[in-house]
Amino acid sequence: MKSEREIIKELKKIFPKGKADVGIGDDAAVYKDLIFTTDLLVENTHFKRSHPPYFLGRKSVNVNISDIAAMGGEPLFVLMSLSIPGKLTGEWLDEFLKGVKSSCEENSCTLIGGDLSRAEHIFISVTAVGKTKNPVLRGTSKEGELIVLVGELGASRAGRETIEEGIDKFEKLRMAFLNPIPRVKEARTISKQATSMIDISDGLIIDLRRILGGKGAKLYENSLIPSEELEEFCKLKGKDPLEYILYGGEDYALLFTTGEKPQIGKIIGKVEGNGIFLGERRVEEKGFDHFT
């Protein structure tokens, strides 16, 4: 079985970028002043049927808006492919569409197209189109630059676990998983000074690797502190919060590099040497892969 990373590597080889300015492998593709991205949410892989449909509608749009934001872009439109079992065409679909609409409105964009089909399981694919004059890419950071984080890490993964295990507290963690909010405004500010940027969807370490390219990083130990709720959750479960902070995905925090004093966010390290280090300790570069 091939890994997701291997497949994406192959895809980059098979499909040259053609008339596009940026093709496969960044947060989004770029053509002239437009940016394009697509994200998939699949039942039983990304969510359970019990995910409230209103929040699922919001999340399916918001994770794409987050990719547009991470390029320094402004959202324009979304298109959606949706397949659902026939029995969900009533209240479930109404709530789902309310969620889609609320996210579109919050981000000044609209749904301009889509396709709808019946299936045994819920599949949602959204394509978002955005606009930017100066896209901020991945992999373009430079040695010595600061690594800056905007947002909290680990909450979404912990929230997912509270839901799956039926733990009836940790509202903030749960909402971080159910209803992530794309940081469009912050990303616009960041884009003025960032040399590279990404939204953390697969986990800090795997996404840091993406903005580092082949370079290394030194992360500051005391900068990666769990939130009160995450700490309490980890105590209850006997888990290490650092595991959630380094490898938990779907937080949609923003990670960027800059040679300047950052206008927003928390400095968590700098681009340096080879490998990724947390203090003196080398960090294992593992991350979520759909096929391994």
Show contacts with a second copy in window 86-105 (CB under 8 A): 86-87, 89-90, 93, 97, 101, 104
Least Å from the CB of residue 279 to a second copy: 34
Q: Which of 15, 142, 143, 243 binds a second copy (CB under 8 A)?
A: 15
Tokens of 82: 């949706």
Part in contact with a second copy (CB under 8 A); list of ranges 19-27, 150-158, 237-245, 258-266: 19-27
Q: Answer yes or no: are the C-beta atoms of 199 and 69 closer than 8 Å.
A: yes
Least Å from the CB of residue 59 to a second copy: 14
Determine, following the binding rule CB under 8 A, whether residue 62 of this chain makes contact with a second copy. Answer: no
Q: Which of 9, 52, 83, 218 binds a second copy (CB under 8 A)?
A: 83
Q: Which of 70, 129, 206, 254 binds a second copy (CB under 8 A)?
A: 129
Cα(120)–Cα(280) distance, rounded to whole angstroms?
Answer: 50
Q: Given the complex with a second copy, which of 99 and 241 has the nearer CB atom?
A: 99
Q: Given the complex with a second copy, which of 45 and 134 has the nearer CB atom?
A: 45
Determine, following the binding rule CB under 8 A, whether residue 24 of this chain makes contact with a second copy. Answer: yes
Q: Which of 8, 49, 144, 213 binds a second copy (CB under 8 A)?
A: 8
Least Å from the CB of residue 52 to a second copy: 19
User: Can you say how many angstroms the Cα of residue 70 is from the centroid of all Cα atoms in its chain?
Assistant: 9
Q: Which of 28, 150, 198, 278 binds a second copy (CB under 8 A)?
A: 28
**Rounded to 5 degrees, what are φ and ψ at 240?**
-95, 115
Tokens of 263: 């206008």
HEC states along 64-105? Answer: HHHHHHHCCCEEEEEEEEEEECHHHCCHHHHHHHHHHHHHHH
Going along the chain, which residue ranges are E strands?
Answer: 29-31, 34-42, 74-84, 110-118, 123-131, 146-150, 196-199, 217-219, 254-258, 266-271, 276-278, 281-282
Least Å from the CB of residue 144 to a second copy: 31
Binding string, 33-52, against a second copy, x = CB under 8 A? -x-xxxxx-xxxxx------
Tokens of 199: 């939204």
Q: Which of 48, 116, 213, 236 binds a second copy (CB under 8 A)?
A: 116
Tokens of 147: 């690594």
Q: Given the complex with a second copy, which of 209 and 270 has the nearer CB atom?
A: 209
106, 116, 6, 19: which is closest to 66 by C-alpha?
106
Determine, following the binding rule CB under 8 A, whether residue 139 of this chain makes contact with a second copy. Answer: no
Part in contact with a second copy (CB under 8 A); list of ranges 72-80, 214-222, 239-247, 248-256: 72-80
- Helices 184-191 and 53-70 meet at what angle, rounded to 10? 0
Cα(18)–Cα(25) distance, rounded to whole angstroms?
Answer: 14
Terminal CA-to-CA distance of the chain, rounded, Å?
7
Residues that bind a second copy (CB under 8 A): 1-2, 4, 7-8, 10-11, 14-20, 22-24, 28-29, 31, 34, 36-40, 42-46, 76-77, 79-83, 86-87, 89-90, 93, 97, 101, 104, 109-121, 123, 125, 127, 129, 290-291
